[in-house]
Amino acid sequence: MIAVGALLHTKQLSRSPFEIATALIVPVVQATLAVYLFRAGGEPGRLLEAAVGAGLMGVWSSVLFGSGGAIQNQRWQGTLEMIMLAPRPPALVVLPITLATALTGTYAMVATLAWGRLLYGIPLTFADPLAFAVAVPGCIIGLGMFGLLLASTFVLLRNANALTNTLEYPIWLVSGMLVPITALPGWTGPIAAALPTTWGARAVREAATGSGPVWPSLGVCLAISLACLALGAIMMTHVERRARAAATLALA
Amino acid sequence: MTALFRLVGTGGVIAYRALFNWTTPAMFVGTLLVGPLFQLLFFAYLGRQLGVADDGFYITGNAVLAASLACVFGGTMAVSNERRFGTLGHVLLSPRSRTAVFLGRVLPYAANGLLIAVTTMTAAALLLGLRVPLDALPGLLLTLAVAALACGFFGLTLGAIGLRFRDVWLVSNVSVALLLLLTGVNVPAAGLPAWMRVTGELLPITHAAEAARRLVAGDGFQAAAPQLAAELAIAAAYAVLAALLLKVFEAESRRRASLDTL
């Protein structure tokens, strides 16, 4: 059910020219910016890291805006009641949506890597190609599960969009997608350690550059994501019951 | 003349209240005040780690750029939200000057952008420890105001394009991302290829960011004046372009009966 649902929602998201163009063009612009910044900083050897980092930033943006607005989008489409009427736990019907937003985020990763290779001649020589091929989908599944927690949290907040717009850069920053965590103030360390994005980004970067062991980072990413999934499922059930009792399911 | 000022001033403020989608306090603070500050911190830490430039470079550049979010999207909303809310036809039925109606709408967004830029610069200077010479403040305020106005007219140009192309939000999103890259706010212009530098020269923010950096460096208003004049010229050029495009696309929309097509 999760696989079919995720495929359905991925297809649906992929029908939107706006979603696709945004997922392809904006990360490419960010990747270009990262490439010139790394070049200006005298770090041409880290261009692959820059392209991978920019791709991960695109995946996070897709999860953040897609999952953050998952419930609201269903509400606007008039399909929220039908989804909630399904005789399955609400988390199971929303999880495919958040997974789909992470899956469509892979367009960003593909776009930034292809752009880097074709235009800047960045060699796509991953230190551990097998680990990279596992780490990227692992990171994406992890972010999809984290997305469920976002979706269930944001549905409780009337001004969730404000939080969505605010959370893009802080997570890029704290998760070390382009800026190493060591360059940040010490108090950000515990926040970074609690985020699956940090460990997912670390696993993908380690697989690409060989800067460390991939599997422990990927394992921690998936463990935190599973915890987010469990928490998100509990919250989703609570939110659904409250919305049914108060008859506010369709109300924005 | 009073009627014209009423049309531009009062009309602009009423349209701002009706069309600007970020007017709830949480949305305004989250999207327009906190968001740009985190963007600034992201690039300041990245630049610091790569050794590209000092904090002052990023604080000043990104504070000027902070105005662009509200101004570019605001300018776009000033036209495209009329269509989305079904009121564009009513506005265009008015016997008053289109140019005055739409150019007046940019002013509240520019004021908004100025507020955001000043807030971002103040917060970032306090957080990262940038000292701005006191005598540079009036010039800096003027520079931020001109940058905000230029971004507003740039946004209005994009909004006018929205009369012809349906997906104007895609154009706005990509334009805002391109401003990050091409204006030399985050990558020193010397590090960009020639065609990107030339393109950046034709965009808002580029000259204002350079003028602001000279003022913050204590070079004085005289040193910043040429760049400030260039930014003003860019603002005027986009105002004229927006007015022309609005005129052309309005005529075409009427001819093709596609004014309210979404």
Q: Is the pLDDT of residue B22 over 60?
A: yes
Higher pLDDT, A95 or B231: B231
Q: Which residues contact B176 (CB under 8 A, 6 or more apart)?
A: B68, B69, B72, B73
Is residue A170 in some structural domain? yes
Cβ–Cβ below 8 Å for B42 and A162:
no
pLDDT band at B84 (very low <50, low <70, confident <90, very high): confident
Q: What pLDDT does B260 receive?
A: 66
pLDDT in tens, A131-184: 999 999 999 988 888 888 888 887 776 667 677 878 899 999 999 998 888 889
pLDDT band at B262 (very low <50, low <70, confident <90, very high): low
Is residue B262 in some structural domain? no
Is residue B106 in some structural domain? yes
Domain containing A186 equals 2-246
Q: How many residue pairs from chains A and B have C-beta atoms closer than 8 A?
A: 103
Q: What pLDDT does A252 receive?
A: 55
Is residue A252 in some structural domain? no
Q: What pLDDT does A220 receive?
A: 96
Q: What pLDDT does A158 receive?
A: 63
Q: What pLDDT does B36 receive?
A: 93
A168: chain B residues, CB-CB within 8 Å: 35, 38
How far B14 CA lies from chain A's nearest CA (Å)?
23
Is residue B38 in some structural domain? yes
Q: What pLDDT does B135 receive?
A: 93
Q: What pLDDT does B170 receive?
A: 84
Number of domains in chain B: 1
Determine the average pLDDT of the residues in B186-199. Answer: 92
Determine the average pLDDT of the residues in B32-47. Answer: 93
Q: What pLDDT does B76 receive?
A: 85
Is residue A251 in some structural domain? no
Determine the average pLDDT of the residues in B197-211. Answer: 96
pLDDT in tens, B206-219: 999 999 999 999 99
> In this structure, are residues A59 and A24 in contact, taking their beta carbons and an 8 Å threshold?
no
Report the complex ipTM: 0.89
Is residue A217 in some structural domain? yes
Q: Is the pLDDT of residue B122 over 90?
A: yes
**What mean pLDDT, rounded, does chain B reach?**
89
Of B39, B167, B187, the CB nearest to A36: B187
Is residue B14 in some structural domain? yes
Write the Ramachandran bin of A213: left for phi over 0, alpha for psi from -120 to 50, otherwise beta.
Answer: beta
Q: Is the pLDDT of residue B43 over 90?
A: yes
Is residue B261 in some structural domain? no
Number of domains in chain A: 1
* Regions in chain A scoring below 50 on pLDDT: none
Higher pLDDT, A200 or B105: A200
Q: What pLDDT does B140 receive?
A: 96
pLDDT in tens, B60-77: 999 999 988 888 988 888
How far A178 CA lies from chain B's nearest CA (Å)?
7
Domain containing B85 equals 2-256
Is residue B110 in some structural domain? yes
Q: What pLDDT does B39 receive?
A: 94
